[in-house]
Structure 1
Amino acid sequence: MTWSLTAAQVRLVVCSVNEWSYYAFGCDQCGDEIRKPAGKDVQSLLKTGGVAVERWVVPAEALEEKSGPAIAYDDVLDFALRLQSIDAPVAALSAMRPGAPA
């Protein structure tokens, strides 16, 4: 199979976490977006070929190490049901913050 793409058909997403950078293009046969890793050398090559760069900055909070149990589906459901059942959600949420009296 031979691919022929123009610079306009390729997306280059350069992330602040370099390992998460990628380039993407649409598949002519199935219509899906194909994503491939884009290291520094691939980024340079695509930029030289005229591919526009999209910058993606990962917020520092996303990179922080987390502790404690993960939020489960039931936790989200309980939260949604709680929000549905209260008249003043801001006051109720303030009372739910860690360290606040129950």
Structure 2
Amino acid sequence: MAPTVLFKAACPDCHGRFELAAGALRLAIGGTSKTTFYSFTCPDCGALVRKPAGERIVELLTGGGVSTMRLHFSSSSGE
């Protein structure tokens, strides 16, 4: 059995710092860097946190087993 991967995270609302397992994070990959982000619920205050995810963050999260959702946009959206 593979060891559990933990990701360090922080909440911008309560300023809490903690470690989260892959199952506590969600990654959304959009058509641009502006629409690619990861999110989680702060275990300290319950706030929904959404942060941008660049290429390196995407690699780390997907490699660590975080579930990924691909966002699709219609061609009429200007993307």
Specify the code of the residue in structure 1 equivalent to 2:71: W
CA drift of 1:36 comes to 0.4
- What do the CA deviations read for 1:53-87 (whole angstroms, capped 9, x no partner)? 100012221117xxxxxxxxxxxxxxxxxxxxxxx
- What do the CA deviations read for 1:34-65 (whole angstroms, capped 9, x no partner)? 0000011110010111111100012221117x
Unaligned runs of 5+ in 1: 65-102
Inter-partner Cα distance in structure 1 for 2:54 and 2:75? 21
Q: Percent identity of the aligned residues?
A: 33
Inter-partner Cα distance in structure 2 for 1:28 and 1:38? 20
What is aligned with 1:33? Answer: 48
2:69 aligns with one of 40, 51, 54: 54
User: Considering only CA atoms, is the larger Rg found in Structure 1 or Structure 2?
Assistant: 1
Structure 1 runs, 4 residues or longer, greater than 2 Å off: none
Could you say what secondary structure the match of 2:19 adopts? coil
TM-score (norm 2): 0.71
* Structure holding more helix per residue: 1
Contact 1:19–1:39 under 8 Å retained in 2: no
What is aligned with 1:8? Answer: 23
Unaligned runs of 5+ in 2: 1-15
* Paired positions, count: 64
- What do the CA deviations read for 1:10-34 (whole angstroms, capped 9, x no partner)? 0000002232100000012332210
Contact 1:13–1:23 under 8 Å retained in 2: yes
Contact 1:21–1:39 under 8 Å retained in 2: yes
Specify the code of the residue in structure 2 equivalent to 1:18: S
